[in-house]
Amino acid sequence: MWLLVAFVLGLIVAVVVLRRVAAWLGRWRGFAGRRAERKARRLLESAGYDILNVHPKTDAVVIVDGRRVAIPILADFLVTRGSQRFAVEVKSGKERHVTSGATRRQLLEYACAYDVDAVLLVDAVDRRILEVRFPYAGKYGS
């Protein structure tokens, strides 16, 4: 009986500890993301981009079975340089390359949802700004 009680108490302690660790990791990821965005902002400004908006929200409208569905989209920045507008995604982890499927799909989503000339992928680790165009995405590719 005592062995069962000890096991259940140990299980409860393990669950509580794991939940705390998960919460801490979530906060750490948020902190790391904000830090990467601050670095990216400085990098963009030093490269001659003007920040129009931080976390600009828009809706992507899709037609599902004949019904319009609005899906909220949130880029990291909306910037201009010269007469061109760009939606910006900042990455600092493993998926900071355009070869990453998730990142590429996110950039394509921005290209379709925002009224921009191209999208920028900012690699906050290697301090690079990549201009990405999708030639098959409507006016975006012309």
Give pLDDT, residue 98: 84
Q: Is 86 helix (H, G, I), strand (E, B) or coil?
A: strand
* Residue 3 neighbours by CB under 8 Å, 6+ apart: none
What is the tens place of the pLDDT at every residue in 102-136?
999 999 999 989 999 999 999 988 999 999 998 87
Q: Residue 96: what are its φ and ψ, rounded to 5°?
A: -90, 15
Using CA atoms, how far apart are residues 6 and 2, in angstroms rounded to an integer?
6
Say what the pTM is. 0.72
SS3 69: strand
